[in-house]
Amino acid sequence: MFNYGLSVLCLIVVTLSFLAFGYWILTYSFLRKNKKGDLKFNKKDHLDITDCKNPSCVRCNLYSEVTQNARTRLKKFIDMNILYQRAYSRIEHSFSENTLQSGSTSREILGPRLKGPSQNPNVFRLKSLPSSPVFDNEEFAMDIDILKENFDIIFSDFCKIHDENCYGSWLQNDTPTGKWSVFHLVNQGKSVEQNTNICKNTFSIVNTLPSLMCNNVFGNVVFSVVEPETTISEHYGPTNVRVRCHLGIVMGLVTPTSCSLSISDGSRTWVRGECLVFDDSYSHGVRHKGSLLDGFRAVLIVDLWHPGVTDEEKVAIDYMFAPR
């Protein structure tokens, strides 16, 4: 009887071991689906500053050129709208306080890493704009309701582009460790036609958002995937006139809290089907401390106008910072 019980116990242990191994293989295969030939991977062993290598990036490489061009376009815009000059006075005063100098580097602009709450947009800061690292969702209730009500449609589009047979254009951002992949529908104010043709439903949905920012170089709509063991270095967004909204898409298979957003002096995690709204001109970064079995984090990033920017200022900013 004892030998029979021991045999049954061994059989159970062996069966469970095979099941666990099978689950690991399936999970590993699923999480590696987006390692395809069309992903542009530029992993670095170490990254101690927040600059990326994309020559078209407004925040990291074109800040001086974009700002100087915006100064010229602002003067032209005011000349064309001389009767409304007072409506744009805050923008004019903001430029007079802009600390950017031609030829300066991102490190020179950002200066030493600050401890605690810090806001430091490195392309354009609109003065006297109320600021908070994280926003109450009620301030963007209409936008958030639209995204949440259409979550299943957006999730379906994500599943299409995450499939290994997708012909869309995934890109990979620089990270000190791990892998951070992005799929742009709008990239710095320009629609990416190849991708919007695949995600027509999502693109149509975001274009109904009343606060959507999409007609200047600060506006983006992008699916973002962060895999386990990835660190996105802390950095500052280019401007304080935008607010960034993350719609949680996939929060991992086991422990979603292993991945978090550090913003100013706090930390936030994502919830599937819910929105996290924050001001990315504050120091922020992402760290996924999980293992392969924890799964990736995926969100839809949508850039919105800061509620403190007037309609007249939005028109001027769109003109000044028109997509390149």
Which residue in the block uniquely carries the two structure tokens 């639209």?
A: 146
Asked if residue 103 and residue 15 are part of one domain, the reply reads no
Asked if residue 109 and residue 177 are part of one domain, the reply reads yes
* Cα 319 from Cα 99, distance rounded (Å): 21
Asked if residue 67 and residue 27 are part of one domain, the reply reads no
Phi, psi of 265 (to 5 degrees): -110, 20
What's the pLDDT at 290? Answer: 87
Question: Considering its fold, how many domains does the chain have in total?
Answer: 2
How do strand 259-263 and strand 266-268 relate by DSSP bridges?
antiparallel
pLDDT, tens digit (0-9, with 9 covering 90-100), for 12-64? 545 545 544 444 444 444 444 433 333 332 323 322 334 556 666 765 556 67
Helix, strand, or coil here: 74?
A: helix
What's the pLDDT at 91? Answer: 92
Inform me whether the pLDDT recorded for 107 exceeds 90: no
If one compares 229 and 30, the residue with the highest pLDDT of the two is 229
Inform me whether the pLDDT recorded for 142 exceeds 60: yes
**pTM of the entire predicted model:** 0.78
Q: Is residue 217 part of a domain?
A: yes
What's the pLDDT at 53? Answer: 61
pLDDT, tens digit (0-9, with 9 covering 90-100), for 91-105? 988 877 664 433 344
Q: What is the CATH number of the domain that holds 122?
A: 2.60.120.330
Query: Minimal CA–CA distance to 243: which of 283, 276, 207, 206?
Result: 276
Inform me whether the pLDDT recorded for 261 exceeds 90: yes
Structural domain for 15, as ranges: 1-31
User: Residue 66: left (phi > 0), alpha (psi -120 to 50), or beta?
Assistant: alpha
Q: Is residue 51 part of a domain?
A: no
Q: Is residue 168 part of a domain?
A: yes
Per-residue confidence band for 254, with pLDDT thresholds at 50, 70 and 90 = low
Asked if residue 257 and residue 179 are part of one domain, the reply reads yes
Distances (CA, A) of 70 to 60, 123, 201: 17, 10, 33
Inform me whether the pLDDT recorded for 180 exceeds 50: yes
Asked if residue 163 and residue 89 are part of one domain, the reply reads yes
